[in-house]
């Protein structure tokens, strides 16, 4: 009798083990299937799906696109490429002379109407936002591109970050972006409610917000804030027929990155903006995120690999990021010391 009981116990244990193994196997199949589907979606988004059709956002129909930080770099390239799509433009930046030169250039080359508004977003003056809202209330605005932003001058420990730099980053990247969006979005919602066009709000995010970045802690936090804010806004404005997306990018040659030479991982503003505008509505590398896109092909692959392997919040990625930016900091310090000695 004891032998029979032991056999029954062994049989029960085997059944439990088999059940556990089949359950684990089932979960493994589900995990592998979802991974394959995300990877196929990544490939389709980057290389196979057609470019975004901007006629649904009012291209060529007299609609306006508002672009902040429009006088240089990525913002200037957004202005050129949106003008080429036959959007009228309202360009917002700090330097009036640069805005006026770009206004003349774009009107002559593309035959669109270009309006300008110059103000310094770091000052955070209510009068500037009221002026922007007043202009937009009188225009058929359907697109807003939040491009204005600021990073640290060089990677710096948080405890050594100067107060002005800290405040400027938060004011420009967060406060100004939110208040500019409030000033413009009511016009976009109003146009979208008429049913003739959809609205679109794009906000420039960063891998610095995707991945916690030591030595750029304030900038990293400001971009992470924009990620969550933009995703939340996407849910709010979807019923109003307005698309809201955050654009995630790795490095781009620009004044902010201080990188002058492009490469496979570091595109020029022209190539980056082209990939961004053609990818609106696709997630590309941001397969796991709502209302987000990582548009440039190498950035998308990089994002996907990090997310699917170590994870953006892993200790190893944080350590690698620290080492990378510490190296940049040390090179910048040595360069500053050499310049100081030569003077």
Catalytic residue status for 219: yes
Chain center to CA of 162: 26
* Sequence-ordered list of residues with C-beta below 8 angstroms from that of 277, at least 6 positions apart, any chain: 51, 52, 54, 78, 81, 82, 85
291: which 2 tokens? 């209302």
**257 annotated as belonging to a binding site for a ligand:** no
The terminus-to-terminus CA distance of the chain in angstroms comes to 98
Instruction: Please say whether the beta carbons of 291 and 246 come within 8 A.
Output: yes
Enter the tokens of residue 188. Answer: 């976009």
Contact criterion met (CB below 8 Å) for 178 and 228: no
Find the catalytic residue in 219, 302, 313, 322. Answer: 219
**φ and ψ at residue 69, rounded to 5 degrees:** 60, 45
For 114-146, b where at least 16 C-beta lie within 10 A, e where not — what string? bebbbbebbebeeebbeebbebbeebbbbbbbb
Q: How far apart are CA 331 and CA 226, in angstroms?
A: 30
User: What is the C-alpha to C-alpha distance for residues 54 and 86, in angstroms, rounded to an integer?
Assistant: 9
Query: Which among 183, 181, 224 has a CA at the least distance from the CA of 205?
Result: 224
What is the rounded CA–CA span in Å between residue 193 and residue 308?
Answer: 39
What CA–CA distances, in Å, run from 151 to 59, 208, 209, 218, 247?
A: 32, 10, 12, 8, 16
Known binding residues: 206
Which residues form the catalytic set? 219
């Amino acid at each position: 009798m004891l032998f029979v009981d032991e056999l029954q116990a062994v049989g029960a244990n085997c059944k439990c083990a088999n059940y556990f193994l089949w359950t684990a196997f089932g979960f493994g199949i589900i995990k592998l299937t979802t991974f394959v589907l995300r990877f196929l979606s990544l490939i389709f988004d980057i290389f196979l799906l057609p470019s975004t059709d901007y006629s649904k956002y009012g291209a060529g129909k007299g609609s306006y696109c508002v672009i902040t930080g429009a006088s240089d770099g990525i913002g200037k390239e957004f202005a050129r490429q949106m003008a080429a799509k036959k959007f009228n433009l309202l360009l917002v930046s700090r330097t009036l002379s640069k805005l006026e030169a770009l206004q003349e250039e774009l009107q002559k080359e593309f035959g669109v109407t270009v309006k300008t508004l110059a103000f310094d977003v770091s000052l955070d003056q209510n009068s500037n936002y009221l002026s922007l809202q007043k202009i937009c209330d009188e225009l058929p605005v359907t697109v807003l591109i939040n491009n204005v932003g600021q990073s640290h001058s060089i990677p710096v420990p948080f405890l050594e970050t100067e107060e002005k730099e800290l405040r400027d980053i938060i004011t420009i990247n967060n406060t100004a972006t939110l208040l500019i969006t409030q000033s413009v979005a009511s016009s976009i919602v109003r146009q979208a409610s008429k049913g003739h066009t959809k609205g679109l709000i794009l906000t420039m995010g960063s891998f610095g917000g995707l991945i916690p970045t030591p030595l750029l802690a304030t900038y990293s936090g400001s971009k992470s804030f924009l990620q969550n804010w933009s995703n939340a806004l996407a849910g709010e404005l979807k019923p109003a027929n307005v698309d809201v997306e955050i654009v995630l990018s790795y490095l781009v040659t620009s004044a902010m990155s201080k990188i002058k030479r492009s490469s496979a991982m570091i595109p020029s503003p022209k190539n980056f903006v082209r990939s961004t505008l053609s990818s609106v509505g696709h997630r590309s590398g941001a397969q796991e995120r709502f209302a987000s896109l990582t548009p440039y092909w190498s950035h998308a692959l990089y994002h996907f690999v990090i997310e699917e392997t170590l994870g953006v919040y892993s200790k190893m990625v944080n350590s690698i990021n620290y080492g990378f930016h510490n190296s940049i900091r040390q090179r910048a310090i040595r360069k500053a010391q050499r310049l100081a000695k030569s003077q």
